[in-house]
Every structure is written in C-alpha cells, then in structure tokens.
Amino acid sequence: MASTNPARGTRDFLPADIRKREYVIGIIKEVYESYGFEPLETPAFENLETLTGKYGEEGGQLMFKILKRGEKLDIANAKKVADLADLALRYDLTVPLARVVADKRDKLPKFFKRYQIQPVWRADRPARGRYREFYQCDVDSIGSTSPLVEAELISAAAEIFERLGFTDYVFRLNDRKRLSKMVSDAGIEASLETDAMVALDKLDKIGEEGVLNELQARGISREAAGRFLSFAKDPEAAPQSETIAKVVSLLRSSDRIKDDPSLARGLSYYTGMIIEVNVPDLPGSLAGGGRYDGLIGMFGKEQIPACGISLGLERILVVMDERGMFPPEVADSTPADVMVTVLDEETAAETIKLAAELRAAGLRVTVYPDADKLGKQLKYADSLKVPYVCVLGESELAEGKVTLKDLRTGEQESLERENAIKKLGAAIRWKA
RNA sequence: GCGGCUAUAGUUCAGUGGUUAGAGCGCCUGAUUGUGGUUCAGGAUGUCGAGGGUUCGAAUCCCUCUAGCCGCCCCA
C-alpha cells in the first residue's frame, strides 16, 4: 500500500488545528491592521534568479527548485542547476517583499507598511517544531530610517503577545553596528567579524566556555575572545548603541525590553537594530527581525531602507498548546451549534426546512444525513460535541413541534418550532 | 550531511525461532423497535512497513530499501 503520510516535513491541518491557527492569525491581523499595516500576498514561487544569492550559500542549497518544463528541460546537456530549474518556491517573505517594492515603487505609498502571512518552503531536514512547509507572519515598514519604525514594530508585536495571553515574553534588542564595534574594540580582525557573530549566536546553547572555544577555533585569540565575550555579557561595558537608546526612549518603559549585546542572529542582510523575542521554556525564539537597509537595493533600482519582524507562528502555536492558552471556544471547537435529526426519509424535507430556519436565526446547523436509529444519531452528535439536538420525527411533525435536547445536561423539552428557534438563538448568543 | 532508535488491528502497544499473532482504547450489534455520554453481553478487524536471505519452521535472526522519531550540524 502506498504511504498515506503527508510528504516529509509537511502536515495536514485537521479542523481543530485550523481553529487554533485561525484564532492566532486573527489576532495578529487585528493588531497589525490597528497600526495601519496593510496586507500583501506574493506568489508561492518566484523566478529562481530573484531568490539566488539573497540567502548566502547555505540558503541556496535549502531552496526547493522547480524543474523546467517541456522542451526547455534538457537533462542530458544540463551543466548547472540553472539549466534544470528556472523557478523556486518562496523561501521567506522578506525577499519577495523587497522584489515587490523594487518593482512597484510607484504604486505603493512613500512609507509602505505591510503584513504578510503565508507559507514558505525550505528543503531542510525536519525536526521538532521545524518543517519543510511552515508559515511566516511578517510585518515590515519600508521607506524610513527613523527609530520610530523600530519602536512601532516592537510595540505592535508586544501587543500581539499580550493579546494571545503571554506574560513572560522578553524582547532582546541589539544593533549590528554595535556588534561591529564590539568586534573591533575587542581587537578582532574585521575579516573575522562574521565568525565572531556566528559563535556568539550560540551563547544560549553552548555557554560561555563553548563560545570561547568556538571563537578560538575560528582563529581568534583567547584574549580577544575574552574581551569580546565580556562586552557581550554586560550592556554597560559594551559600546553604547544610539539606536537602542532612541528606540527604548520611544517605548513605554517596560521590563519586557532588554538591551542584550550578546544577541547576534544569523541572517547576514541586517544592517542596524536586531530583535528577538523569547520565552523561558522555549530554546529558540518566538519572533525575530531587524533593520535591513541594503536588501531592496540588491534588485538594482533604488536603495530603500526597511525594517521588519517575523513572528514564528508554528512556535507560538506549540507553546500555546503546551500551556493550554487557547480560550475554550477555540480549544473545544464544535462544527455546529445544533444538529437536526432525520428519522424517516419521508420527513427529510421537513428536517432541511427546520435547519434553514435555525440558520436564519444565526445558528450553525448540521443535518444528520441518514435515517438511522435515534440512538445512533445522538451518539454521533455527542461525538461531534454538538451541544443541542433537534429531534424531528413523525410525532413532532404531527403536533407541529420539535423536541429540543441539550446534550450536556440530558434535558429535553417539546416546543413549538418558533419557540425552539428563539430559545436556541438566545442560548448560543449568550455563550458567544 | 553524520550517529542512534523504531515500524505488529482504526489507534497505543505486548509478543526474543515452534499450532490458528494478542491486550487496552476505539468501532459494530444487542440489552433500549424514538434517546447519546455510564454499565453489561456479544462481534469484526491484520500482506506483522517493502524486498531479499538463513532455517524443517521467521513478526522474531541477517542484508537492502522506505518511512517515522531522537541527538549533532544548520535554521524559523
């Protein structure tokens, strides 16, 4: 038998999963909209040349490339990847945004604030909380170098975490320019700057001693490595960042914002502030971002400054699941408020009519499809956790009534149709 | 990319060379011909991941492949 697993590193989202995802995405959209960010969507795939060279060497390897089609596909004479593939699946949301901005500058506002919630694909090896298809929720502000941009992005992201019910998140802030100064002040050669940052990025994971060893392994002297690390450990000792000071002064003072000179972040396109959001019980981050004033210029047109934050939807969902942070109507979602029974094929038309009346009253109504025994129908309703059942059989039809049963209490009563509809409408509205 | 573990009913798992492969949960039927969630009685369900090998005999031992999980590397 062929495997019925979804492709490696991908997932099927069952109804309960979707309810949770939509709840979180709904809050993210609401908050971003309230800050004046506008939605953007870009294609699932891009021209290969749009994406190549934007993510460093590693990134290129992890891109899902799409084979050329028809006559253009000449496997026998292909010498390099570009001979075989001409398209690739979206690898992140930032580069497509940069392309859109470079391409449609004239159609976009001078300061373009956009959010984008779409899947991206990476041909990575899957691991816990890591997939080959996953969603990113990006929010970016294009066109201004003002620290007000950073402050607003941080403020919006913080509001999202508050609304979702997080009480222990921390925003760590650092500055790429300050990191460069830390490198030079420590006496590390400029050519080893990237190595120093890659090693520093692992501080949480491998500890101080581990970072010192890694710095030395990358050709940095013990003394320089020690000085570098002492800056990283102490915001007072480290060179001061004007940007961080300005951004912090613009935000309402909060112990959730932390100046952290040890924060590095992998991506090479950041040019100024870098941001990461952490919670204590998760090794990685819930969100990350920073300023990238050079990326849009890579498309060869105008150099336009930009800054953004990306929320890690999958990780937010994992933490919320583990902590039971979903409200009951999301965690215990049901497909309908009420189910209407069918006891006889002859009366099915009446069942459909009643269902339509209930829907007109604003209820979510499902109809049992077969004329099975009543016990079976009730059992089914119970398995769906539908709270109410309308029993509509011969005896009810003869009297022009309907039997309304509350599956949670087991109570039931025989009511005139319009009373049953009124009562259900009130019960469900009360709940909502 | 490297190392380790796993694959048996719908599902979670037991079964270390010997008849006809088991259990919990779930599912179906009945007690209850129109009343679920509890209970009781009964019932169905397997290419033992795929392919090859060893053996009188393989779910069990060996090899290959595939898939899943856990570390490392890297990343969100």
| Amino acid A5 CA to nucleotide B49 C1' distance, rounded Å | 13
Does the CB of A312 sit below 7 A from strand B?
yes
Provide the pLDDT confidence category of residue A57 given band limits of 50, 70 and 90: low
Q: Order of strands across the sheet with A170-175?
A: A38-39, A112-121, A133-142, A306-311, A287-291, A273-278, A170-175, A257-259
Does the CB of A383 sit below 7 A from strand B?
yes
| Amino acid A54 CA to nucleotide B68 C1' distance, rounded Å | 33
Answer whether residue A265 shows pLDDT above 90. Answer: no
| Mean pLDDT of all residues in A265-285 | 84
pLDDT of residue A2: 56
Q: Which of residues 61-80 of A touch strand B (CB under 7 A)?
A: none
| Mean pLDDT of all residues in A52-60 | 74
DSSP labels, A253-289: P-TTEEE-TT---S-TT--SEEEEEE-TT-SS-SEEE
Facing residues of A340 across strands?
Answer: A367, A390
Half-sphere exposure of A368 (CA within 13 A, CB side): 31
Answer whether residue A34 shows pLDDT above 90. Answer: yes
pLDDT of residue A430: 66
Facing residues of A339 across strands?
Answer: A366, A389
Q: Which nucleotide is nearest to A265 (CA to C1')?
A: B75
| Mean pLDDT of all residues in A254-271 | 84
pLDDT of residue A70: 85
Token readout for A289 is: 């971002």
pLDDT of residue A267: 66
Instruction: Pick the more confident residue, A431 or A233.
Output: A233
Tens of pLDDT, residue by residue over A387-410, are 999 999 988 999 999 999 999 999
The pairing of strands A170-175 and A257-259 is parallel
Output the average pLDDT for chain A. Answer: 89
Least confident piece of the model among A186-190, A259-263, A280-284: A280-284
**3-class secondary-structure state, position A24:** helix
pLDDT of residue A3: 65
Answer whether residue A262 shows pLDDT above 80. Answer: yes
Provide the pLDDT confidence category of residue A431 given band limits of 50, 70 and 90: low
Answer whether residue A127 shows pLDDT above 80. Answer: no
Q: List the Cα angle A271/A181/A218 in 5-degree steps.
A: 90
Q: CATH: 3.40.50.800, 3.20.20.70, 2.30.30.90, 3.40.50.1170. Which one for A334-431?
A: 3.40.50.800
Q: Which of residues 185-224 of A touch strand B (CB under 7 A)?
A: 198, 201-202, 205-206
| Mean pLDDT of all residues in A253-258 | 84
Does the CB of A127 sit below 7 A from strand B?
yes
Q: Which nucleotide is nearest to A411 (CA to C1')?
A: B35
Taking Cα atoms as reference points, which of A114, A91, A113, A32 lies closest to residue A267?
Answer: A91
Q: CATH 3.40.50.800 region(s) of chain A? A: 334-431
Tens of pLDDT, residue by residue over A75-106, are 888 877 788 889 999 999 999 999 999 999 99
pLDDT of residue A143: 96
ipTM: 0.81
Classify residue A36 as left (phi > 0), alpha (psi -120 to 50) or beta. Answer: left
pLDDT of residue A124: 83
Query: Per CATH, which fold does A15-328 belong to?
Result: BirA Bifunctional Protein; domain 2 (3.30.930)
Q: CATH 3.30.930.10 region(s) of chain A? A: 15-328
pLDDT of residue A50: 92
| Amino acid A220 CA to nucleotide B44 C1' distance, rounded Å | 70
pLDDT of residue A159: 96
Find tokens 């959730």 and name the residue: A256
**Chain B bases near protein CB atoms (7 A cut-off):** 1-2, 27-30, 32-37, 47, 66-76
